[in-house]
Amino acid sequence: MMDKTTSPLYNGSITADIDWASSELSIGDRRLSFGVMEKSLTFAGGFCGAMVFTFPVNMLLQRFGAHKVMTVIGALCTIMVAISPVIGVSISNSFPVAGAVVNEWATTQEKGLFVAVLSAYVELSALFTMPISGLIATKVSWDTVFYLHAALLGLFTVLWAIYYRDKPKKHPFVARKEWQKISLGKRPTTGKISLPLQRIFRSMVIWAIWIAVIGNFLVAQFTISYSPLYLSYVLGFPTMTAGFVTIAPLAGQVGKNNGHYSLLQ
């Protein structure tokens, strides 16, 4: 998006006479010049959206269930990803939905496995996004990166809407023996459950988990957001190479998390 040499209009010599941000150019040919503040706001936009929508999304989950809420958000975000790189609504729903999936679909012995797999989406998504985005931005056009991710999001949303159900008992592909095994040892919920906020904030276990999660995702998100910039603009790596190099520490983090789960078994 910012590298003029990747534009089809760049020929190695004539650059001064071209307005790279002109609206007359196709979006794939444009190259924009962002300042430090603009870059920072672009990165922060998605996370601000996640913070703003976390509580409303939780309320929607409680009322309508993960199946309907995730389907609607996925459909909306498919359009939003295609037209804008700043999107946080889809991020706000990830952990609440993961919690709902673990609570409803995991047996009491498999909850650790479900948590390990579902919480690895941050690193796993970057393992795909970084190298593929670098390759497409270099070989095709930068706007195609967003269209590709929008198409994939739409595909996964359709699969979610078709195959997921809020309750195993209501799933057409789950036999009676299976949902009985899933529900074994779980307390049946009757009526609306009030959130015990005072107990949550007074629990040292909860605070320890929050601190660990903040530390973990601070490293992951910092790597995802700023490693490509550092590799490209400071070390001078090509865009595609920077994308591939960025996934190395993230792959290591996924391996570490899986190793921790294996030790707990």
pLDDT at 182: 86
**Which residues of the chain are under the pLDDT cut of 50?**
2, 261-264
Instruction: Say what the pLDDT of residue 263 is.
Output: 46
Instruction: Check residue 82 and give its pLDDT.
Output: 62
The structure tokens listed for 39 are: 């870059």
pLDDT tens digits, one per residue of 121-147 = 777 777 788 788 878 877 887 778 888
- Model pLDDT, residue 264: 47
Condensed to tens digits (0 to 9), the pLDDT of residues 75-104 reads 877 777 666 655 656 666 777 788 888 888
pLDDT of amino acid 169: 85
| Stated pTM of the model | 0.63
